[in-house]
Amino acid sequence: MTTDLKAAALRYHAEPQPGKIAITATKPCDTQADLALAYTPGVAEPVRAIAADAEAAYRYTAKGNLVGVITDGTAVLGLGNVGALAGKPVMEGKAVLFKRFANIDVFDIEVNAKNTEDFILTVQAIAPTFGGINLEDIAAPACFEIEQTLRERLDIPVFHDDQHGTAVIVAAGLLNALELQGKSLADARLVCLGAGAAGIASLNLLIELGARRENLMMVDRNGVIHAGRQDLNVYKRAFALHTTSRTLADALRGADALIGVSGPNLVTPDMIRSMAPKPVVFALSNPDPEIRPEAAQAARHDVIVACGRSDYPNQVNNVLGFPFIFRGALDVRARTINGTMLVAAVHALAKLAREPVPPEVLEAYRLSHLEFGPEYIIPKPVDPRLIQVVPAAVARAAIESAVARAPLPKHYTA
């Protein structure tokens, strides 16, 4: 990052007042009568109603549109274990995105936890405040245990965006890219570079969408995850293959697609040249990808490339997922966000990229034309149709999979 950009970023966060979020009252509080309703004695009535029926909290409080964005600061962006407090700017940023894209309110919570169980108990204790929990920037493998345990203990959606948010966008883009290359997910041989939260969740979702486990090869910092390795945790071991491949170069030879969720400059042009005809390369390390898109395209004229940066085509951006997935889940008071709902989000995003692009998107990106093809495999974050399409698909999937506690809102059926 340049000196000028660093200064601008710090100034942006400091002025005209510190931080990026604030609390705004939604009801008048100007007169004695207002005060009597907002607080004592009037507030006693919703208290009594909620004490009698917990579901009344959705009618009389902000719970139903409130998400807790919660971290322990162990895996913040690409900066690593910087601590809970240092993660607060990112959590505030997440709050801004929830509000901007799906009109969801957020309390950001930064937890100093001594261990995994301490973190779980903290989140469990404060969960009644929220309609959903978005876990953020928690290191693997602890993130898997944390999410699974909280899902079992709570009756509201618990969603680790670094896992499932990334997985949904990766899967939507990959389905479209493979189709453009004349390939199917069921038959494609895929290599995932990176065996953390995003990589493991992405492969699990792809399996749910029809990929075959035997066609999936995962590579971590020690090489290919194979059955002979003794250093694998339970989450990696699920992807251990009986194979003679040991290095990333071995893994990519003849592969149809690469999903990179690891670190910068780990993939060489020679590796891209060794892939199968018409390959797909998702180099998602941010801001510096596993291989620059221009380098991959120079190595292969027939490659489709996506990355995590906004200054290249085909940006894989989690903001395409989490605000809209939560919007759909909250609107039907879902008890959880399950695989059926994630698959629905994948298909909604993939289908939207095939539709004509609205003028607002062209204007925002200063383009005269954009259509489904090698440089447009996934919708742009500013697409106004996202809020109409993705939440509705997620909400319907929640109802169909029997995890919804409220009917489909009328505006979804209009």
Reported as a single tens digit per residue, the pLDDT across 338-347 is 999 999 999 9
Instruction: Determine the pLDDT at residue 261.
Output: 95
Asked if residues 111 and 36 have their Cβ atoms less than 8 Å apart, the reply is no
Beta bridge partners, 259, equal 192, 282
Token pair in block for residue 287: 């801001």
CA distance 261 to 202: 10
SS3 (DSSP) at 36 = helix
Is 94 one of the annotated active-site residues of the chain? yes
What is the mean pLDDT of the segment spanning 127-153?
96
Name the active-site residue from 6, 27, 60, 94: 94
For residue 36, pLDDT beyond 90: yes
DSSP assignment letter at 385? T
SS3 (DSSP) at 204 = helix
Side-chain-facing half-sphere of 332: CA atoms under 13 Å:
29
For residue 55, pLDDT beyond 90: yes
3-state helix, strand, coil in the chain (%, to 5): 45, 10, 40
Residue 372: phi and psi, rounded to 5, are -50, 125
CA distance 152 to 49: 27
SS3 (DSSP) at 158 = strand
pLDDT digits (tens, 9 = 90+) for 379-414: 999 999 999 999 999 999 999 999 999 999 988 876
Residue 31 Ramachandran class (φ > 0 left, ψ -120 to 50 alpha, else beta):
beta
Hey, what domains does the chain have and what are their CATH numbers?
3-156 (3.40.50.10380), 164-307 (3.40.50.720), 318-372+380-413 (no CATH)
pLDDT digits (tens, 9 = 90+) for 305-322: 999 988 899 999 999 999
For residue 1, pLDDT beyond 70: no
CA distance 167 to 174: 10
Token pair in block for residue 263: 């670190």
What is the mean pLDDT of the segment spanning 126-140?
96
**Contacts for 6 with CB less than 8 Å, ≥ 6 apart:** none
pTM of the complete model: 0.94
pLDDT digits (tens, 9 = 90+) for 203-252: 999 999 999 999 999 999 999 999 999 999 999 999 999 999 999 999 99
Using alpha carbons only, give the angle 382, 285, 216 rounded to the nearest 5 degrees: 105
Instruction: Determine the pLDDT at residue 5.
Output: 84
For residue 64, pLDDT beyond 90: yes
Question: What is the secondary structure of 301-360 as a DSSP string?
Answer: TT-EEEES-TTSSSB--GGGTHHHHHHHHHHTT-S---HHHHHHHHHHHHHHTTSPPPHH
CA distance 275 to 208: 25
Asked if residues 71 and 136 have their Cβ atoms less than 8 Å apart, the reply is yes
Name the active-site residue from 12, 20, 27, 39: 39
DSSP assignment letter at 226? B
Instruction: Determine the pLDDT at residue 411.
Output: 85
Task: Residue 215: name the closest of 256, 266, 270, 267 by CA.
Answer: 256
Tokens 């965006």 label which residue?
Answer: 161
